[in-house]
Amino acid sequence: MRKEYPNIFGKVFLTVDIDKKNEWVHNDWIGYLTRDNVQFGALAYLNAVRESGFSCVLNDNSKVLGSWDHSLEWTAKEWVPLAAKAGLKYFAMIVSPDSLAESSVLSFANLITSFEVKVFSNITDAKSWLRYHSLGAKV
């Protein structure tokens, strides 16, 4: 099940896919993210986590063009407790090194203690790490 979420201009800023084969929710963020986009998108893919019953998220920020520091406080205080309650345990984040989004991703990763967050510079390594946690002995 794949869903696309457009911004106020009709451009997709997030796609969310429940990956049944790998047993995770895959988020692909795109472009510049407003506070509203981050909040709406984070709650949307949290619904996918609840619906799927999966405890792993592959969160791709490699196509994000700017910082989303404006949403770090909300994410840490509001979203993280909801995510932990929904059963999120492993969160792989992909970011392009030296991008403006990298500082936001690293700040986010350092704030989280309710579940395991790991930052990757490529999707292959992120998938490998997450697959270990989602499928374990099934791989």
CATH of the domain at 121: 3.30.750.24
Beta-bridge partners for 116: 90
Is 6 a domain residue? no
Confidence check: pLDDT of 52 > 80: yes
d(CA 4, CA 7): 10
Is 74 a domain residue? yes
Give the position of tokens 């986010």: 108
Total domains in the chain come to 1
Query: pLDDT tens digit string along 61-104?
Result: 999 988 888 988 899 999 999 999 999 999 999 987 776 677 77
> Distance of CA 75 to CAs 19, 99, 108, Å?
24, 20, 8
Is 4 a domain residue? no
Q: What is the rounded average pLDDT of the residues 133-139?
A: 75
Is 129 a domain residue? yes
Instruction: Place 112 in a pLDDT band, splitting at 50, 70 and 90.
Output: confident
Print the domain residue range for 31. Answer: 17-138
